[in-house]
C-alpha cells in the first residue's frame, strides 16, 4: 500500500512494554488492574515483545477471559508454542474462553495429538461446538463463522427480544451482538434486525412483523471469497451462515472478512510474482518451505524458456550473418513481457472485483488490441532512434576525451532500425493480448486467474517475440545483412 502520511509515533505496546515487564517481576498481582483498559491487541503486542519466558507469567497474571482474548490476537507461532507448553487442562481453560471461530482456528494450528487432548479437556457443550467447527474446511463460511449468535424465536415481541439481548450481554458471553436473527421453530432463519432497528421498533411488535424478511445469507460450504464478496457488496457487519435446510448455524463477522481479503491479496501478489502462495508469513515460514514454493515455478519457467534456446538455434545462420540482431534481442522480447505483465495485472484485478466477466473477454480484446498497437508504436519510435541515434553519433565521431559515443551498424542501419521498430509493435501488441487473455483462459478452465504470473506471461512472450523478431528481420534485411 502507498505510504503517504505515516505516523512515526511508537506503538502503544512499545511504550508500555518496559512498565509491564517491571510489574511482572515486582508485583505480578497488579498487572491485571494496570492493563485493564488496554485493548487485547495491544497486550498481545506487549507479549510478543517481552522475553518468551515471561509470556506465561503475563497470561497467568490476567483474568482468564482477558488472557483468552490476548491469545486470539497473538502471533500464530507464539500462540502455538505457548499452548503446546501448557498442560492440556491449562490450555483448555484458556481456549474455552476464546471466540468459537478463533478457538477452532487455534486448535487447527497446533500439533494434532495435543489439540485432541485439549478438546477432550473442554467442557461438554464447548467441546461439541468446537468439534463441529473443526469439521468445516478452513476456507469455507463454516471455517470462518462463529457459532455465538443472538437468535430469537420470531414469535418474540421487541420487548422480549431486548430482555434476551440484555441477558446475553450481561452474561459476559462474547456474541456478535449488533444483530438479532429471528428463527422459526425448526431453527430456520426467518428475519434479521440490527440492535438499532430493534431499539427503534414499537416494544409490543412481534419480530415476525418488524424484522427484515429478506436475509442475505451464505451456505456453510460457501467459499470464503464469496463470503467476503457479500460482506463488501452489501456493507454488512456480519452475514448469517445456514445449512442446506436454512437452519441458522452461525455468523461470519466483518473482521474475519478483512483478514480473508488481506490473505487473498497476499496470495494473489505472490502468485503474480511467479510462485505458489506461502501459507504463513514470509519471516516465519521455514527455509525449505520457501524453496518448495519457489523452485517448481522457476523450473517450469526455465523449461519454457528453453524453447528460446531451441528457437535461436534455428535462427543461428541469421545470427551469424547479422550478429547485431542478437544484441537487440533482449530489448525486443523484454518489451513484450512488460506489456504482457501490464495486461495481466489489469485483468486479474478486474476479474477479482467482478468489473468484467469471463464472457466479456472480447470487450477486453478490442481494448487491448489498439492499446498494444499504440504502446508498441510509442516504443518503436524510441527503438528506431536508438539505432539511428547511435549510428549518427558514430558517424559524427562524437567523443569526450578518449571515450567515443555511438555504434556503427554499417550501411544498413535504416533497415535494422525498421526491424527493431516493427518488431516492437508486433511484440508489444502480442504481449498485451497474451497477457490480458491468459487470465480469462485460466478462469474458463476453472483455474485461478492469478496464476497468470508476470514471469509466466514474460516467458510465453519471449518465445513468440523471438520468432516475430527474426521474421521481421528476414523481411527487412534479406539481401542486405541476411
Q: Which stretch binds a second copy (CB under 8 A): 78-86, 115-123, 243-251, 308-316?
A: 308-316
Quote the least distance from Cβ 259 to a second copy, whole Å.
Answer: 7
Decide if residue 382 touches a second copy (CB under 8 A).
yes
Q: How far apart are alpha carbons 361 and 348 in whole angstroms?
A: 12
Which region among 17-25, 105-113, 120-128, 316-324 touches a second copy (by CB under 8 A)? 316-324
DSSP string of 142-175? HHH-BS-EEEEETT-BHHHHHHHHHHHHHTT---
**Alpha carbons 384 and 407: distance in angstroms, whole number:** 14
Piece of the chain touching a second copy by CB under 8 A; list 22-30, 58-66, 81-89, 285-293? 285-293
Query: What residues between 426 and 445 interact with a second copy by CB under 8 A?
Result: 428, 443
Q: How far is CA 455 from CA 336, 356, 443, 451, in A?
A: 12, 24, 18, 10
Residues of span 241-280 touching a second copy by CB under 8 A: 254-255, 257-259, 261-262, 264-270, 272-275, 278
Near a second copy by CB under 8 A: residue from 453, 468, 470, 481: 453
Measured from the CB atom, the residue of 92 and 189 that comes closer to a second copy is: 189
Q: Which of residues 21-50 bind a second copy (CB under 8 A)?
A: 37-39, 41
Q: In terms of Cα–Cα distance, which of 133, 80, 155, 132 is closest to 111?
A: 80
* Among 466, 468, 477, 481, contact with a second copy (rule: CB under 8 A): 466
Q: C-alpha cell of 273?
A: 510474482
* Closest CB to a second copy among residues 119, 252: 252
Q: Which is nearer to a second copy, 134 or 278 (CB)?
A: 278
Instruction: Specify the residue for cell string 473482521.
Output: 255
Count the residues in the chain: 482
Does 142 contact a second copy by CB under 8 A?
no
**Considering the complex, what minimum distance in angstroms separates the CB of residue 87 from a second copy?**
30
For residue 138, give the 3-state DSSP assignment. coil
* Residue 192, beta-bridge partner list: 181, 212
Q: Are the CB atoms for 379 and 469 separated by under 8 Å?
A: no
Contacts of a second copy in 194-213 (CB under 8 A): 194-197, 199-200, 212-213
Site for a second copy in 317-356 (CB under 8 A): 319-320, 323, 326-331, 333-335, 337-339, 341-350, 352-353, 355-356
Q: Does 170 bind a second copy (CB under 8 A)?
A: yes
Backbone angles phi, psi at 176, to 5 degrees: -70, 100
- Binding to a second copy (CB under 8 A) within 57-86 occurs at none
Query: Does residue 454 interact with a second copy by CB under 8 A?
Result: yes
Task: Calculate the dihedral angle through the C-alpha atoms of 229, 235, 238, 242, rounding to the nearest 10 degrees.
Answer: -50
Instruction: State the CB neighbour count (10 A cutoff) for residue 294.
Output: 16
Q: Tell me which of 247, 294, 394, 412 binds a second copy, using CB under 8 A.
A: 294
> Which positions ≥6 away from 170 have C-beta within 8 Å?
none
Amino acid at each position: 500500500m502507498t505510504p503517504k502520511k505515516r505516523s512515526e509515533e511508537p506503538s502503544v505496546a512499545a511504550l508500555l512494554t518496559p512498565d509491564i515487564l517491571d510489574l511482572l517481576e515486582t508485583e505480578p498481582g497488579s498487572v491485571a488492574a494496570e492493563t485493564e483498559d488496554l485493548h487485547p491487541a495491544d497486550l498481545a503486542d506487549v507479549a510478543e515483545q517481552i522475553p518468551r519466558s515471561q509470556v506465561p507469567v503475563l497470561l497467568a497474571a490476567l483474568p482468564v477471559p482477558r488472557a483468552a482474548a490476548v491469545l486470539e490476537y497473538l502471533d500464530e507461532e507464539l500462540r502455538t508454542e505457548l499452548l503446546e507448553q501448557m498442560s492440556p487442562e491449562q490450555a483448555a481453560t484458556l481456549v474455552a474462553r476464546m471466540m468459537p471461530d478463533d478457538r477452532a482456528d487455534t486448535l487447527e494450528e497446533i500439533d494434532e495429538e495435543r489439540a485432541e487432548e485439549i478438546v477432550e479437556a473442554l467442557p461438554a457443550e464447548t467441546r461439541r461446538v468446537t468439534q463441529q467447527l473443526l469439521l468445516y474446511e478452513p476456507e469455507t463460511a463454516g471455517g470462518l463463522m462463529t457459532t455465538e449468535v443472538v437468535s430469537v424465536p420470531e414469535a418474540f415481541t421487541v420487548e422480549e427480544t431486548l430482555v434476551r439481548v440484555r441477558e446475553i450481554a450481561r452474561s459476559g458471553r462474547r456474541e456478535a451482538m449488533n444483530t438479532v436473527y429471528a428463527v422459526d421453530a425448526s431453527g430456520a432463519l426467518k428475519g434479521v434486525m440490527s440492535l438499532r432497528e430493534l431499539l427503534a421498533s414499537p416494544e409490543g411488535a412481534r419480530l415476525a412483523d418488524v424484522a427484515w424478511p429478506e436475509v442475505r445469507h451464505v451456505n456453510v460450504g460457501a467459499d470464503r471469497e464469496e463470503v467476503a464478496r457479500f460482506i463488501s457488496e452489501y456493507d454488512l457487519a456480519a452475514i448469517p451462515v445456514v445449512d442446506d435446510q436454512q437452519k441458522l448455524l452461525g455468523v461470519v463477522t466483518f473482521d474475519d472478512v478483512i483478514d480473508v481479503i488481506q490473505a487473498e491479496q497476499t496470495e494473489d501478489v505472490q502468485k503474480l510474482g511467479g510462485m505458489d502462495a506461502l501459507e504463513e508469513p514470509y519471516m516465519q515460514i521455514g527455509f525449505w518451505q520457501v524453496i518448495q514454493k519457489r523452485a517448481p515455478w522457476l523450473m517450469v519457467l526455465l523449461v519454457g524458456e528453453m524453447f528460446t534456446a531451441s528457437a535461436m538455434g534455428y535462427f543461428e545462420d541469421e545470427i551469424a550473418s547479422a550478429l547485431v540482431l542478437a544484441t537487440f534481442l533482449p530489448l525486443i522480447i523484454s518489451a513484450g513481457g512488460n506489456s504482457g505483465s501490464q495486461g495481466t495485472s489489469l485483468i486479474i484485478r478486474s476479474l477479482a472485483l467482478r468489473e468484467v466477466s469471463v464472457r466479456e473477454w472480447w470487450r477486453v480484446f478490442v481494448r487491448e488490441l489498439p492499446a498494444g498497437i499504440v504502446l508498441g508504436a510509442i516504443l518503436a519510435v524510441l527503438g528506431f532512434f536508438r539505432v539511428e541515434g547511435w549510428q549518427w553519433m558514430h558517424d559524427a565521431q562524437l567523443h569526450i576525451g578518449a571515450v567515443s559515443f555511438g555504434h556503427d551498424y554499417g550501411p544498413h542501419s535504416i533497415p535494422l532500425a525498421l526491424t527493431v521498430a516493427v518488431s516492437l509493435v508486433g511484440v508489444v501488441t502480442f504481449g498485451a493480448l497474451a497477457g490480458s487473455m491468459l487470465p480469462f483462459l485460466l478462469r474458463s478452465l476453472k483455474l485461478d486467474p492469478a496464476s497468470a504470473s508476470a514471469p509466466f506471461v514474460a516467458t510465453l512472450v519471449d518465445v513468440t517475440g523471438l520468432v516475430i523478431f527474426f521474421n521481421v528481420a528476414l523481411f527487412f534485411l534479406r539481401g542486405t545483412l541476411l
